[in-house]
Structure 1
Amino acid sequence: MHTMWKGSISFGLVNIPIKLHAATEDKDIKLRTLHKKCHSPIKYEKVCPHCEEEVKNEDIIKAYEYTKGKFVILDEEDLEKLRKENEEKAVEIIDFVKMDQIDPIYFDKSYYMSPHEGGGKAYALLRKALEESQKVGIAKIVIRSKEQLAVIRIYRNTLIMETIHYPDEVRDVGEVPNVPADDKVTEKELDTAILLIDQLTTDFQPEKYTDEYRNALLALIESKRMGKETVVPAAREAATNVTDLMAALQASIDRTKPKKTVATRKKVATKVKKQA
C-alpha cells in the first residue's frame, strides 16, 4: 500500500512514528473528450488572455486575489519553507472526545495509519487505550500544504485518521432555502411513515450496496469494445507542400493570364475572314 505521509503522532509523552495510507479510492470512470471529426483527444492549454499566448509552467506564479483584480504574489520559496516548517512538526493529539459528539457532516477523507520503524508498541498502546476508553483523538496535521483537523480512531484493529472540516468550512444550515418551519403532518401519516421505516430497518452491510450506474457503464463500454465499436484518432496526413505549392503557382498563373475581351475576339475574327 502506497505511503503518502511519514511523521509521528503523540499524546502526552508518548511518541509514535507512523505512515499514512489512503483508505479509500475513487472508482469513477474517467471519460476522455475527443474531437468528433477525427477522434483525437482534446488538449487543454494554459493561455494568458492578455498576452494571447500559451504559458509554460516555468512562467506561472501563485498569488492570492484579496480583492477583484488585485493580487498578492507568493514566492514558491516562501511557500515551500512554510510547508516544511509545518509538515516536520509531530502531530499532537489535542483532545479526546466521544465519537457520537461529532456530526458526520464534518468528516472528509480517511487514511489508514501504520507504525513506522520502532513504533509498534506505542501504536498498540494508543489503539488499546482508545478501545478501552471508547473515545477518539482530535489532532492537527498538515497534508498537501493544508492544515487539517483530524479524528484518530480504531477501524478493524487498525488506527485510522479521518480529516474533518473546521467549523467555518461548514455552511450555515440556516441559509438553506424553503425548509418548512412547522411539522404539518397528520398522526396517520406519521404512523405510516414510521411503519415503513420499521419494515426497512436492518443491520448495515456495506457490501450489499453497489454502484449500479458505474457497473452499467462498464458493461456498456465492454459490449462496445467486444462488438468492435471502437475508434482511433485519425492519422495526421503527411505534409503536402509540393501539391499545395503547385496549386498556388497554377492559380497565380491563371490569375495573371491576359483576358481576351469581346472586342479583341471580334477583331481577330474579322482579320481571319479578310485573309480568307
Structure 2
Amino acid sequence: MHTIWKGSISFGLVNIPIKLHSATEDRDIKLRSLHKECHTPIKYEKVCPACEKEIDHHDIVKGYEVTKGKFVVLQEEELKELKEENGDKAVEIVDFIKMEEIDPIFFERTYYVSPNDGGKKAYSLLRKALQESGKVGIAKITMRSKEQLSIVRVYENTLVMETIHYPDEVRGTGDVPNVPEEDEITDKELETATMLIEQLTTDFQPQKYKDLYRERLSQLIESKQTGEKIVTAKEKEPKENVTDLMAALQASIDSSKPNKAKTTKKKATSKKKAQ
C-alpha cells in the first residue's frame, strides 16, 4: 500500500512514528474526450488569453483575486516560507471525544495509519486505549501545505485518521433555499411513513450496494472491444518547416543575384563591341 505521508502521532508523552495510506480509491471509469472527426484525444493547453500564447509552469505565479480583475500576487518564496513554518510532521492529539458527537457532514477523507519503525508497541497502546474508552482523538495535521483538523479512531483493529472540515467550512442550513417550515402532518401519514421505514430497516451490509452505472459502462466497453469497434486516433501530420523553407528561398534568390548581374554585364559589353 502506497505511503502518502510520514510523521508521528503524540498524546501526552507517548510518541508514535506512523505512515498514512489512502483508505479509499476512485473506481470511476475514466473516459477521454476525443475529436469526433478523427478520434484524436483533445489537448488542454494553458494559454494566456491576453497575450494569446501558450505558457508553461515557469511563467505562472499564484494570485488572490481581491476584486474582479484585481489580484494580490504571492511569490513562490513567500509560499515556501509558510509551508516550512507549518511543515512539522508531528500530529498532536489535543482532545478526546465521543464519535457520535461529530456529525458526518464534517467528514472529508479517510487514511489508514500504520506504525513506522519502532512504533508498534505505542501504536497498539493507543489502539487499545481508544477501544477501551470508546473515544476518538481530535488532532491537527499539515498535509499538502494545508493545516487540517482530523480525528483518530479504530476501524477493524487498525487506526485510521479522518480529516474533517473546520466549522467555518461547513455552510449554514439557513442558506439552503426553499426549505419548508413545519407542515401539518396527520397521525395517519406519520404512522404510514414510520411503518415503511421499519419494513425497510436492515443491518448495514456494504457488499450488497453496487455502482450499477459503472458495471453497465464496463460491460458496454467490453462488448465494443469484443466486437472490434475500436477507432484509431489520427496521427499528427508533421508541420512544414516554414523557417527552413524561407531560408532556402532566400538563399536561392541570393544565389541568383550575381548571375543576373554577370549576365547584365555581359550584355553591356557585347553591346559596346557591336557599336
Question: What is the TM-score when the length of structure 2 is the normalising length?
Answer: 0.84
> How far apart are 1:211 and its partner, in Å?
0.4
Partner SS state of residue 87, structure 1: coil
Where does 1:152-167 land on structure 2 (aligned, <5 Å)?
Answer: 152-167=152-167
RMSD of aligned alpha carbons: 1.6
Where does 1:192-211 land on structure 2 (aligned, <5 Å)?
Answer: 192-211=192-211
Residue 170 of structure 1 aligns with which residue? Answer: 170
Residue 266 of structure 1 aligns with which residue? Answer: none
> How far apart are 1:87 and its partner, in Å?
2.5
> How far apart are 1:144 and its partner, in Å?
0.9
**Can you list the C-alpha shifts for 1:25-52, whole angstroms capped at 9, x where unaligned?**
0011111000011100000111111111
After superposing on structure 2, the runs of 4+ consecutive aligned residues of structure 1 that deviate more than 6 Å are 238-241
> How far apart are 1:184 and its partner, in Å?
2.3
2: distance between equivalents of 1:237 and 1:179? Answer: 58
Question: Is 1:151 equivalent to 2:157 in the alignment?
Answer: no
Question: Is 1:219 equivalent to 2:219 in the alignment?
Answer: yes
> How far apart are 1:147 and its partner, in Å?
0.9
Where does 1:63-78 land on structure 2 (aligned, <5 Å)?
Answer: 63-78=63-78
1: distance between equivalents of 2:220 and 2:89? Answer: 49
Residue 24 of structure 1 aligns with which residue? Answer: 24
Residue 97 of structure 1 aligns with which residue? Answer: 97
Residue 228 of structure 2 aligns with which residue? Answer: 228
Residue 259 of structure 2 aligns with which residue? Answer: none
Q: Mark the CA change 1:162 to 1:238 in structure 2 (over 3 Å): closer, same or farther.
A: closer
**Can you list the C-alpha shifts for 1:71-96, whole angstroms capped at 9, x where unaligned?**
22212222223223322241111110
Is the 8 Å Cα contact of residues 87 and 141 (structure 1) preserved in structure 2?
no
Question: Is 1:130 equivalent to 2:130 in the alignment?
Answer: yes
Is the 8 Å Cα contact of residues 6 and 89 (structure 2) preserved in structure 1?
no
> How far apart are 1:175 and its partner, in Å?
1.2
Partner SS state of residue 160, structure 2: strand
- Letter paired with 1:60: I
Residue 269 of structure 1 aligns with which residue? Answer: none
> How far apart are 1:238 and its partner, in Å?
6.3
- Letter paired with 1:146: K
Unpaired segments of 5 or more residues in structure 1? 246-276
Aligned length: 242
Unpaired segments of 5 or more residues in structure 2? 246-275
**Can you list the C-alpha shifts for 1:107-147, whole angstroms capped at 9, x where unaligned?**
00000000011111111111111111100000010111111
2: distance between equivalents of 1:240 and 1:22? Answer: 48
Question: What is the TM-score when the length of structure 1 is the normalising length?
Answer: 0.84
1: distance between equivalents of 2:148 and 2:89? Answer: 13
> How far apart are 1:230 and its partner, in Å?
1.1
2: distance between equivalents of 1:167 and 1:239? Answer: 56
- Percent identity over the alignment is 67
Partner SS state of residue 168, structure 1: helix
Residue 267 of structure 2 aligns with which residue? Answer: none
> How far apart are 1:239 and its partner, in Å?
6.7
- Letter paired with 2:15: N
**Can you list the C-alpha shifts for 1:145-198, whole angstroms capped at 9, x where unaligned?**
111100100000000000000111111101111111113221111111111111
